[in-house]
Structure 1
Amino acid sequence: MINSPITRLDPFALVEDFFRQARPAQVNSEQRSSGFLPAVDARRENEDLVAAVDLPGVDPVNDVSVELSNGGRTLTISGERKVRNEAEGFREVRYGSFSRTLHLPEAVQQDSISADYDAGVLTVRVAGVYAAEQPQKIRITSGSSATQVSTSEADSQKEIDA
């Protein structure tokens, strides 16, 4: 029988080893200053466009801007996530400036846009942006006869010109 010394395992040392090995690659100063890109979920709710932007840890009043440009056709959400504590070590949270742009299907007025920040999510609603969408009738020609097709749900009949 071989006598071996008993070794004690330090559970904290194991955790520390794990984090030391899991550390991401070094980030150069250019990548660090490039900021982050918040996730945006944009969807249509009836006649409104609703965009939810993930902005945890951002002061919406002082550090976020919602602007309408390009004749009311472009909505830009921009701002900055500021570093609260400068500390060395393991960091996965990205900081810096950001800008997300949504191109609207129709020109809108500034008063039709509202923004609300709750639980780290900025929700921007563009009221009535899809209201102007009217079904268009497209005329289809085939040989000697012409067919008129309606894209509206209310008018489901086809008219055939003879």
Structure 2
Amino acid sequence: MSTLVNVPKNGGLTRTRNNGSDYLPTWSSWIDDLLNRDLPSVFSQNFNTGMSLPKVNIKETADAYAVEMAVPGLKKSDFQIDLDNQVLSISTEVEEQNEVKEENYTRREFGYSSFKRSFTLPETVDDGNIKATYNEGILSIHLPKKEEAKQKPPRNIKIS
């Protein structure tokens, strides 16, 4: 969950003046403090997706763009990479089921996690030659530039 403003624990964005220099927190900041202190796991985590969005590094060279995403613990087959109308989408859905049967009980656990990251590619990307690899928890996507968009080396022009 994104945080736009950090609210101090001992008050809020607004305070009420009471008899000179004493300050009391407002009702809304008291509720915010109560919820943030007593229910941190519910309000400070992205509980809709079951997985936080992975960090992405994007690097541009003279002839390509490189996208690296840290996603350890997954398999190559867990990823779905799509290109639609210059939008590159990387997503995954992982479903886990675990069942343990003992003499007196059965314990069954299941979980689901997913994420999706999308990037609008520049027109200079040669979308027919995009390649992706997954090695040791790092998803790497190589986005080559079109020949006319590649940076040309400097050259000397002779005067005639």
Q: Which has the larger radius of gyration?
A: 1
| One of 48, 58, 72 as aligned partner of 1:42 | 58
Contact between 1:47 and 1:131, CA under 8 Å: does it hold in 2? no
Deviation track 1:14-45 (CA, whole Å, cap 9, x = no partner) reads xxxxxxxxxx93337x9433232011101112
User: What is the deviation of 1:57?
Assistant: 0.9
Contact between 2:130 and 2:144, CA under 8 Å: does it hold in 1? yes
Compute the TM-score of the two structures, normalised by the length of structure 1. 0.51
In 1, the alpha carbon distance for the partners of 2:75 and 2:151 equals: 39
Residue 75 of structure 2: aligned partner: 59
Residue 123 of structure 2: aligned partner: 106
Residue 108 of structure 2: aligned partner: none
In 2, the alpha carbon distance for the partners of 1:114 and 1:53 equals: 14
Contact between 1:49 and 1:129, CA under 8 Å: does it hold in 2? no
Give the count of matched residue pairs. Answer: 105
Contact between 1:106 and 1:130, CA under 8 Å: does it hold in 2? no
In 2, the alpha carbon distance for the partners of 1:39 and 1:129 equals: 27
Secondary structure of the corresponding residue to residue 140 of structure 2 = strand
In 2, the alpha carbon distance for the partners of 1:130 and 1:85 equals: 50
Structure richer in strand, relative to its length:
2
User: What is the deviation of 1:74?
Assistant: 1.5
In 2, the alpha carbon distance for the partners of 1:50 and 1:130 equals: 17
The one-letter amino acid paired with 1:64 is F
| One of 138, 146, 160 as aligned partner of 1:121 | 138
Q: Unaligned stretches of 5+ in structure 2? A: 1-38, 100-111
Kindly tell me: are residues 97 and 27 of structure 1, through their superposed partners in 2, closer, same or farther at Cα, counting changes over 3 Å? Answer: same
State the identity as a percent.
30
Deviation track 1:24-79 (CA, whole Å, cap 9, x = no partner) reads 93337x94332320111011122101000111111221x21111111xx2211111
Compute the TM-score of the two structures, normalised by the length of structure 2. 0.52
Q: Unaligned stretches of 5+ in structure 1? A: 1-23, 87-94, 136-152, 156-162
In 2, the alpha carbon distance for the partners of 1:43 and 1:80 equals: 26
User: What is the deviation of 1:107?
Assistant: 5.7
In 2, the alpha carbon distance for the partners of 1:44 and 1:130 equals: 15
Deviation track 1:65-120 (CA, whole Å, cap 9, x = no partner) reads 111111xx22111112444769xxxxxxxx62111112111164543100000010
